[in-house]
């Protein structure tokens, strides 16, 4: 099902969602961190630092720094791949799943408030 929006509506939705996030006593994620988080939670696992770096077209240290921050927030966890010790697996957490679910609900709420 396709959603039809004018560019001004989509920007207004993005503004309202980001304003609500800034005002909330929630995690303050950068665009890069949010892209990583949504990739981990919306795309099927496994997720590795290497694969995330390739998907976002950034270096592995960039992903590692973002994961350090998100790990401290409890949104993701990292573990060495026992089958291939060169790989670091990025895993979902309960707190991260709840954050993503709440964020999705927020997007729906703000979309419903958009004027037609």
Summarised one tens digit per residue, pLDDT across range 84-98 is 878 889 999 999 999
Q: Which sequence spans correspond to the domains of the chain?
A: 7-112
**Mean pLDDT computed over 41-57:** 96
What percent of the chain is predicted at pLDDT more than 70?
99
Entry pTM: 0.89
Using alpha carbons, list the distances in angstroms from residue 30 to 22, 55, 76: 11, 17, 15
What distance, in Å, lies between the first and last C-alpha atoms of the chain?
A: 18
Give tens-digit pLDDT for 12-36.
Answer: 999 999 999 999 878 889 999 999 9
Provide CATH code, domain 7-112.
1.10.10.10
Find, among 70, 36, 34, 37, the residue nearest to 53 by Cα: 36
């Amino acid at each position: 099902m396709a959603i039809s929006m004018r560019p001004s509506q989509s920007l207004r939705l993005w503004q309202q969602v980001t304003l609500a996030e800034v005002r909330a006593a929630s995690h303050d994620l950068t665009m890069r961190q949010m892209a990583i988080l949504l990739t981990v939670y919306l795309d099927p696992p496994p997720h590795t630092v290497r694969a995330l770096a390739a998907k976002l077209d950034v270096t592995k240290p960039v992903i590692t720094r973002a994961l350090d921050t998100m790990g401290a927030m409890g949104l993701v966890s990292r573990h060495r791949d026992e089958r291939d010790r060169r790989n670091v697996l990025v895993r979902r957490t309960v707190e991260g799943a709840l954050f993503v679910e709440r964020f999705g609900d927020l997007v729906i709420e703000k979309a419903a408030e958009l004027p037609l």
